[in-house]
Amino acid sequence: AQKVTQAQTEISVVEKEDVTLDCVYETRDTTYYLFWYKQPPSGELVFLIRRNSFDEQNEISGRYSWNFQKSTSSFNFTITASQVVDSAVYFCALRILTDSWGKLQFGAGTQVVVTP
């Protein structure tokens, strides 16, 4: 069975600090995709990034960066120089090829609180 673990329930930082969110996944499949979503206080889920199991290249988008390591089954997310607007719940999710194709398996989420 597939599983996504986000062990950090809440992380509090002061503005301009960096924050890293951990995501560990479990699957026996060799083909899968990983996703990160952001849920701001307004409630909607906003897509941030996807990564397929064959692409371990790290990615940077502005202040966001992602570190994918198959050897440790991790897909961690770093916010550099955090801002108050980054305060949200962040979800890591997994979709595998052989499962019901539509099913995104979400982690429990990590609440990020950025204070001025």
Q: Applying CB under 8 A, which residues contact another protein?
A: 31-33, 35, 37, 42-47, 50, 52, 91, 95-97, 100-104, 106-109
CB of 32 to another protein, least distance (A): 8
Nearest residue (CB) to another protein, 35 versus 68:
35
Nearest residue (CB) to another protein, 28 versus 116:
28
Nearest residue (CB) to another protein, 37 versus 68:
37
CB of 62 to another protein, least distance (A): 18
Report whether 21 contacts 6 (CB < 8 A).
yes
d(C-alpha 100, C-alpha 116), whole Å: 43
Q: Which run of H or E residues covers position 48?
A: strand 46-52
Nearest CA to 79 out of 69, 71, 67, 70 is that of 67
